[in-house]
Amino acid sequence: MTPLLVIEGVRKSFAARRLLDVAGIELAAGESYVLTGENGSGKSTFLRVLAGLERADVDACRFDGRPVELQKYPAWLRQEVIYVHQHPYLFRGSIADNIAFGLKVRDMGRAERCKLVREAIVWAGVEDLLDVPPHRLSGGEKQLVALARARVLHPRLFLLDEPTANLDAQARLQVMGLIRNLCDANSTVMLACHDREIIELPHMHRLHIENGAITACAAPTASR
């Protein structure tokens, strides 16, 4: 498997507590990973370090073979890595405007932008929500819109933080469907979660964080 991300020597402390002390991990292109661990073990913090939202001491990092300094987090890497928060923040405006936000930032032309947004709306199954103000959406509906907003950018690496946490049964099934789709696509996905159904998805590589260190668990199954 070709590595997409290789990171070595990740350390982060809060006061006297060493939260992360990761020797190194490697994420292969086109593979899916789930990061498990107890609450407070550093799962979300590690994802945020990879996304450039938290600072940490990092010995070395390469993305698609290209050396990168995560503390400086170059603009080109922000176009390759997308982080979706457990409680996504939606902007004022329409649902379509929220999904189009990243494309506007990238100065994409209106015609192409509208085409991609429409495809993302259909993919996420949020056609019935287009006239609903974002602040009136449920937690599950916000997660669907956030996943559409991430997917429309076609990043190389998706970082999903507890995407099914605190959702009702119906919303969880909808979000799970989109996660399966992302995991089957030719992108690398890394999720932090406790959801057993996600952990046991076919071809899902499990990583576990404990005492700040990350270790690989049993290899994923190949059957679907």
Band of pLDDT at residue 224, cut at 50, 70 and 90: very low
Give 118-143 pLDDT, tens digit per residue.
999 999 999 999 999 999 999 999 99
- Closest C-alpha among 203, 198, 211 to residue 162: 198
pLDDT, position 2: 79
Considering the domain delimited by 3-216, tell me its CATH architecture. Answer: 3-Layer(aba) Sandwich (3.40)
Q: Could you give the CA distance from residue 7 to residue 5 in angstroms, rounded to a whole number?
A: 6
What kind and span of H or E run contains 80? Answer: none
CA distances from 42 to 12, 77, 138, 167, 214 (A): 9, 23, 27, 22, 10
Check residue 162 and give left, alpha or beta (phi > 0: left; psi -120 to 50: alpha): left
Q: Could you give the CA distance from residue 210 to residue 20 in angstroms, rounded to a whole number?
A: 9
Give 146-173 pLDDT, tens digit per residue.
999 999 999 999 999 999 998 989 999 9
Give 48-84 pLDDT, tens digit per residue.
999 999 999 999 999 999 999 998 999 999 999 999 9
Q: Could you give the CA distance from residue 141 to residue 35 in angstroms, rounded to a whole number?
A: 24
pLDDT, position 202: 85
Are the C-beta atoms of residues 88 and 143 closer than 8 Å to each other? yes
Band of pLDDT at residue 222, cut at 50, 70 and 90: low
Instruction: Report helix, strand or coil for 202.
Output: coil
Does the reported pTM lie above 0.75? Answer: yes
CB-based contacts of 13, cutoff 8 Å, min separation 6: 19
Give 166-216 pLDDT, tens digit per residue.
898 999 999 999 999 888 888 899 999 999 999 998 889 999 999 999 999
